[in-house]
């Protein structure tokens, strides 16, 4: 969707700096558009201006296509603020017990159940295609396709896991991408939902997939006692679901956006940028 893979800065033939870019896609009011995710930026000592030059090039490119930055580096975050990037710096994290512990939580058995016509799969290889959305997609959100799911799940950076709901033809209607998160709230190891998607007109089926994992802790091959879900302000997938605790957490999601995207609602996910790639 976009040819850029980053920038290299040379001084007298020697590389003194670089900034990477990963091609990704977004959906803008239902239409797929090319986008980029910034990754590692490094410059040699004495060439600080090279880093600023790379960031300025990325800002100019961000006037043409969405450009996601998920850097935790304070200096770069300040630069992105000064550049007018859209900031998604806070999300709500919810923690729920899995298995036997879930019965101790008031309403812990209240997760929706999957429709009998649907089957739960834990490998994207069992998916033949994605269902068409029941409602027109509005706003800006990460684009999801079978190709992008396969690509995402093969990242060498993390061991990501997949849970999906398919019909008899293998058509995917809803799914979750999860990773194993260590020391959630400094005390627990949990499955962490990093992305959710549904073609339905409600989040009930996404919640039913979580309910399946809550009732069957060994579904993903490893028995953990906790599940953590995260939601940015526009993500309604977890409203009204059982939880033991919830708290606000700081993250580093910044987006350089073209004029056509700046005023639309944006659905953000933890799995954006290069955090999981």
- 268: three-class secondary structure by DSSP: coil
Which pTM was predicted? 0.90
Question: What is the rounded average pLDDT of the residues 136-147?
Answer: 93
Q: Which residues pair with 51 in a beta bridge?
A: none
The reported pLDDT for the residue numbered 68 is 96
Q: CB-hemisphere CA count at 13 Å for 224? A: 22
Higher pLDDT, 189 or 145: 145
The reported pLDDT for the residue numbered 239 is 87
- Give whichever of 81-85, 123-127, 258-262 has the largest mean pLDDT: 123-127
Element (DSSP H or E) covering residue 231 = strand 226-231
- 179: three-class secondary structure by DSSP: strand
% pLDDT > 90, the chain = 71
Under a CB-based contact definition with an 8 Å cutoff, are residues 226 and 188 in contact? yes
**229 band by pLDDT with thresholds 50, 70 and 90:** very high
- Summarised one tens digit per residue, pLDDT across range 191-209 is 999 999 999 999 999 999 9
The reported pLDDT for the residue numbered 106 is 60
Tell me which of 75-89, 98-112, 177-191, 233-247 is least confident.
98-112
Question: What is the rounded average pLDDT of the residues 206-228?
Answer: 92
% pLDDT > 70, the chain = 96
**102 band by pLDDT with thresholds 50, 70 and 90:** confident
The reported pLDDT for the residue numbered 268 is 93
Under a CB-based contact definition with an 8 Å cutoff, are residues 178 and 191 in contact? yes
- The answer to whether residue 184 scores a pLDDT higher than 60 is no
- Summarised one tens digit per residue, pLDDT across range 10-39 is 999 899 999 999 999 999 999 999 999 999
CB burial string 204-239: b at 16+ within 10 A, e below: bbbbbbbbbbbeebebbeeebebbbbbbbeebebbe
- The answer to whether residue 105 scores a pLDDT higher than 80 is no
* Residue carrying structure tokens 């309910």: 211
- Summarised one tens digit per residue, pLDDT across range 41-99 is 999 998 989 999 999 999 999 999 999 999 888 988 999 999 999 999 999 999 888 88
The reported pLDDT for the residue numbered 38 is 95
Under a CB-based contact definition with an 8 Å cutoff, are residues 82 and 75 in contact? no
Nearest to 173 by CA among 122, 129, 239: 129
- The answer to whether residue 185 scores a pLDDT higher than 70 is no
CA distance 271 to 251: 12
The reported pLDDT for the residue numbered 117 is 96
Handedness of CA 193, 197, 200, 202 (dihedral sign): positive
Tell me which of 156-160, 202-206, 210-214 is least confident.
156-160
């Amino acid at each position: 969707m976009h040819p850029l893979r980053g920038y290299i800065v040379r001084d007298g033939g020697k590389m003194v700096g670089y900034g990477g870019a990963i091609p990704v896609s977004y959906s803008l009011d239902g239409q797929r558009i090319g986008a980029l995710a910034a990754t590692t930026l490094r410059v040699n000592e004495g060439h600080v201006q090279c880093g600023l030059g790379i960031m300025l090039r990325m800002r100019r490119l961000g006037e043409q296509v969405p450009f996601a930055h998920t850097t935790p580096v304070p200096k770069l975050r300040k630069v992105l603020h000064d550049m007018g990037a859209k900031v998604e710096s806070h999300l709500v994290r919810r923690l729920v017990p899995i298995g036997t512990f879930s019965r101790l939580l008031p309403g812990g058995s209240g997760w929706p159940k999957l429709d009998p016509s649907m089957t739960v799969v834990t490998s994207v290889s069992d998916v033949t295609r994605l269902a068409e959305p029941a409602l027109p997609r509005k706003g800006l959100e990460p684009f999801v396709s079978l190709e992008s799911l396969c690509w995402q799940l093969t990242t060498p950076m993390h061991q990501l896991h997949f849970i999906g709901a398919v019909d008899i033809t293998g058509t995917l209607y809803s799914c979750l991408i999860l990773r194993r998160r260590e020391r959630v709230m400094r005390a627990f190891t949990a499955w962490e939902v990093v992305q959710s998607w549904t073609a339905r007109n409600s989040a009930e089926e996404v919640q039913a997939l979580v309910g399946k994992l809550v009732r069957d802790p060994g579904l993903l091959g490893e028995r953990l006692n906790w599940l953590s879900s995260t939601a940015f302000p526009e993500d309604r997938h977890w409203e009204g679901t059982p939880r033991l605790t919830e708290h606000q957490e700081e993250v580093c999601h910044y987006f350089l956006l073209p004029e056509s995207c700046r005023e639309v609602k944006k659905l953000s996910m933890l799995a954006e940028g290069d955090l999981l790639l």
